[in-house]
């Protein structure tokens, strides 16, 4: 399916249940949409697709029975756009990878419950990323990033950062590149290591690093006084770290979580372990979807009594 594009601007709303998403810029003058091996008549049964006034909407219907009928386990979506395109909107996936690359700009939200997210070679970005289980990889971008990740690594490389806000429960964080921050950057992690490298640093905004467990490796190329570090279990005091950073994100995906009663989970929390070990266990169960953020909150509160 092909669509015309005017003024190199596209508003995109994309929602997929099971499959990979690729949004890529090319030397072309139109938009091309490919839906895996689906035929046109089958695609109309599985997706609601519309394109009008520069707005492309691709929404997968509640179509598990249809996919089973057509013997299709999942649908991969590929969208090719002119490489000068500036895109705004939302890209959401339940289970599958998302790859966004090689066009002029992107503003909006990208989310997946189970899969990796890769963003590369986009000169202008202002992106919010939500991911439950998977890695985030960003390379050769210029702009602002807000990343919430429950279980997986976050790697930002070879980029110019105007804004950084990272919340990670379980996984390592690597940030490498140039910094031209328009506001203080915030990097929060519960379990995992943080590595920060600097090629060039402009401005006087700070980078605030908060970690509960793990090692911080900070390059000495940062100007003196730029990095502010907080660490240790005190970061979980009053559960502010957990609630403020992760509860809103998890709430967005609550329909995908399998809830386990708090009473049952308590059996796995051993009073003979120290608080740090028990907190790690609770956060691991949270990242695996065995408990809700509310359950984790109650359990950590009980440990502190």
Of 137 and 299, the one with more pLDDT: 137
Instruction: Note whether residue 173 is domain-resident.
Output: no
Helix runs in 124-223, H state only = none
Express each pLDDT in 110-146 by its tens digit.
Answer: 999 899 999 999 999 999 999 988 999 999 999 999 9
Instruction: Note whether residue 265 is domain-resident.
Output: yes
Predicted confidence at residue 264, as pLDDT, reads: 38
Predicted confidence at residue 116, as pLDDT, reads: 97
Least confident span in 2-16, 142-156, 263-277: 263-277
Predicted confidence at residue 237, as pLDDT, reads: 54
Instruction: Note whether residue 299 is domain-resident.
Output: yes
Least confident span in 10-24, 27-41, 195-209, 241-255: 241-255
Mean pLDDT of all residues belonging to the chain:
83
Least confident span in 101-115, 136-150, 288-302: 288-302
Going by the DSSP 8-state scheme, the letter that residue 87 receives in this structure is: E
Query: H or E segment at 115?
Result: none
- Give the pLDDT band of residue 301 (cuts 50, 70, 90): low
Residue written as tokens 């401005």? 203
pLDDT at 7 over 60: yes
- Give the pLDDT band of residue 68 (cuts 50, 70, 90): low
Contacts of residue 206, Cβ cutoff 8 Å, sequence gap at least 6: 184, 185, 225, 226, 227, 228
- Give the pLDDT band of residue 159 (cuts 50, 70, 90): very high
Q: Compute the half-sphere exposure of residue 3: CA atoms within 13 Å on the CB side of its CA.
A: 22
Share of the chain above pLDDT 90, in %: 58
Within a 10 A sphere around the Cβ of 289, how many other Cβ atoms? 21
Nearest alpha carbon to residue 116 among 21, 213, 239, 242:
21
Select from 79, 94, 115 the last residue of a domain: 115
Select from 115, 143, 160 the last residue of a domain: 115
Residue written as tokens 């000495």? 220
Cβ(13)–Cβ(58) below 8 Å? yes
Within a 10 A sphere around the Cβ of 61, how many other Cβ atoms? 14
Instruction: Note whether residue 217 is domain-resident.
Output: no
Select from 115, 137, 159 the last residue of a domain: 115
Express each pLDDT in 17-40 by its tens digit.
Answer: 889 999 999 999 999 999 987 776
User: What is the span of the domain harbouring residue 297?
Assistant: 252-303
As a whole number of angstroms, the distance between CA 46 and CA 204 comes to 51
Cβ(30)–Cβ(4) below 8 Å? yes
Instruction: Note whether residue 90 is domain-resident.
Output: yes
Cβ(207)–Cβ(223) below 8 Å? no
Query: H or E segment at 25?
Result: strand 21-26
122: helix, coil or strand?
strand
Within a 10 A sphere around the Cβ of 290, how many other Cβ atoms? 18
Count, residues in the chain: 305
pLDDT at 164 over 90: yes
Predicted confidence at residue 255, as pLDDT, reads: 41
Instruction: Note whether residue 184 is domain-resident.
Output: no
Instruction: Note whether residue 34 is domain-resident.
Output: yes
pLDDT at 254 over 70: no
Predicted confidence at residue 43, as pLDDT, reads: 82
Within a 10 A sphere around the Cβ of 64, how many other Cβ atoms? 10
Helix runs in the chain, H state only = 40-46, 64-69, 240-252, 262-266, 275-287, 293-303
The β-bridge relationship of strands 98-101 and 216-218 is unpaired
Instruction: Note whether residue 133 is domain-resident.
Output: no
Least confident span in 41-45, 76-80, 256-260: 256-260
Cβ(170)–Cβ(287) below 8 Å? yes
Q: How many domains does the chain have?
A: 2
User: Can you give the pTM of this predicted structure?
Assistant: 0.81
Least confident span in 113-122, 220-229, 236-245, 271-280: 236-245
Least confident span in 6-20, 57-71, 184-198, 199-213: 57-71
């Amino acid at each position: 399916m092909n669509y015309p594009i005017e003024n190199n601007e596209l508003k995109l709303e994309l929602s997929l249940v099971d499959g990979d998403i690729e949004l890529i810029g090319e030397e072309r003058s139109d938009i091309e949409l490919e839906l895996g091996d689906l035929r046109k008549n089958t695609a109309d049964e599985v997706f609601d697709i519309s394109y009008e006034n520069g707005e492309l909407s691709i929404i997968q219907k509640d179509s598990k029975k249809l996919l089973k009928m057509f013997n299709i386990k999942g649908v991969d979506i590929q969208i090719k756009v002119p490489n000068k395109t500036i895109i705004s909107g939302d890209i959401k996936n339940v289970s599958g990878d998302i790859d966004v690359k090689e066009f002029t700009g992107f503003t909006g939200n990208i989310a997946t419950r189970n899969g990796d997210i890769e963003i590369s070679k986009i000169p202008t970005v202002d992106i919010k990323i939500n991911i439950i289980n998977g890695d985030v990889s960003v390379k050769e971008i210029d702009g602002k990033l807000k990343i919430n990740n429950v279980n997986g690594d976050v790697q930002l490389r070879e980029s110019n950062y105007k804004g950084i806000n990272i919340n990670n429960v379980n996984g390592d964080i690597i940030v490498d590149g140039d910094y031209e921050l328009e506001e203080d950057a915030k990097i929060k992690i519960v379990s995992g290591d943080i590595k920060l490298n600097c090629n060039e640093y402009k401005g006087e905004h700070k980078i605030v690093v908060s970690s509960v467990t793990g090692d911080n490796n900070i390059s000495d190329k940062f100007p003196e006084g730029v990095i502010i570090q907080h660490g240790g279990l005190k970061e979980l005091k009053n559960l502010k770290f957990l609630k403020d950073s992760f509860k809103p994100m998890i709430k967005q995906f609550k329909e995908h979580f399998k809830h386990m009663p708090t009473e049952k989970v308590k059996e796995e929390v051993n009073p003979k372990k120290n608080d740090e070990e028990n907190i790690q266990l609770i956060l691991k169960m949270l990242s695996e979807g065995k408990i809700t953020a509310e359950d984790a909150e109650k359990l950590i509160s009980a440990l502190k009594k």
